[in-house]
Amino acid sequence: MNDAAIGIFDSGMGGLTVMRALMALLPNERFLYLGDTARLPYGTKSADTVARYAVQAAGALVKRRIKLLVVACNTASGVALPALQEEFAPLPVIDVIGPGAEAALAASPKGPIAVIATEGTVKAGAYVRAIHAHAPDVEVMQQACPLFVPLAEEGLIDGVIAELVAHRYLDELLARKPHALVLGCTHYPALKGTIGKAAGLDVTLVDSAETTAARVDKALGERNLRRGDASAPDHRFLVTDAPERFARVGEIFLGRKIEPDAIELVDLQ
């Protein structure tokens, strides 16, 4: 089992920002990534639909034998974590919202903390709950930024259009003077430069990728699941649509080349 891959899924390419942090921390591990590109975005869909998609995506990874599952999508983490844990038990399932809340509180223990995320994550209130579970008195403000996902998927991560959108979403929120700004969608780190420029220097940007990777590292250690083989690991990608586009744009998120022959087109129905 130790040689099995770590499964990761997202609605599209955003979860590659989490895979990037995982690869940096766990260079010896194999990763199997699924991007549900045919059904992106998840963030504007109902909780029931996202939960159904999440179980299907995870099921496709489990079928290919994985030793741990990373839900690299905040929207799915917010509405489907209990369903995934139940459906695939005893597989360890790690989400991004718990680690994101932890990183936010480390950056700003007393708040206020601003969370930018998809409509679904904002509506589910998952970050508010996760932060308040540790620090009930910390003020948490939220803002949905739905256009950031298509901008990132287009590779439009900087320049005048991205900047205008960032100001449209952030100016009012930043006027309330948060100390930390949580990138509560795994697509947003691709726009970190633009978001940081709009936010200014007084606010700390928080990305859950590194804390998530640390949690995966700990889970592997506790369960004795580390890959012992010292040979270079192979990484594979599954997508539900447009593999050539995934190879081309995915590079921006992963920070390295994705070989087209490492990508397989799958049908989740």
Nearer to ligand DGL, 152 or 258 (CB): 152
Q: Which of 22, 51, 73, 114 is catalytic?
A: 73
> Catalytic residue at 145?
no
Chain positions 113 to 172 lying near ligand DGL, rule: CB under 6 A, are 118, 121, 149
Residue partners of 14: CB distance under 8 A and separation at least 6: 72, 73, 149, 152, 185, 186, 187, 188, 190, 253
Mark 86-103 as b/e (b = at least 16 C-beta within 10 Å): eebeebbbbbbbbbbbbb
Measured between alpha carbons, how far is residue 162 from residues 27, 43, 74 in Å? 33, 19, 21
Site string for ligand DGL, 220-259 (x = CB under 6 A): ----------------------------------------
Q: Is 74 an interacting residue with respect to ligand DGL (CB under 6 A)?
A: yes
> Catalytic residue at 73?
yes
Among 37, 75, 204, 211, binds ligand DGL (CB under 6 A): 75
Between CA 119 and CA 127 the distance in angstroms is 12
Chain positions 9 to 28 lying near ligand DGL, rule: CB under 6 A, are 10-12, 14
CA 156, distance to chain mean position in Å, is 19
236 in Cβ contact with 60 (< 8 Å): no
Between CA 49 and CA 27 the distance in angstroms is 34
Return the residue nearest ligand DGL (CB atom).
43
Q: Residue 28 CB, nearest distance to ligand DGL (Å)?
A: 26
Q: Can you give the binding site for ligand DGL, defined by CB under 6 A?
A: 10-12, 14, 40-43, 73-75, 118, 121, 149, 185-187
Indicate which residues carry an active-site annotation. Answer: 73, 185
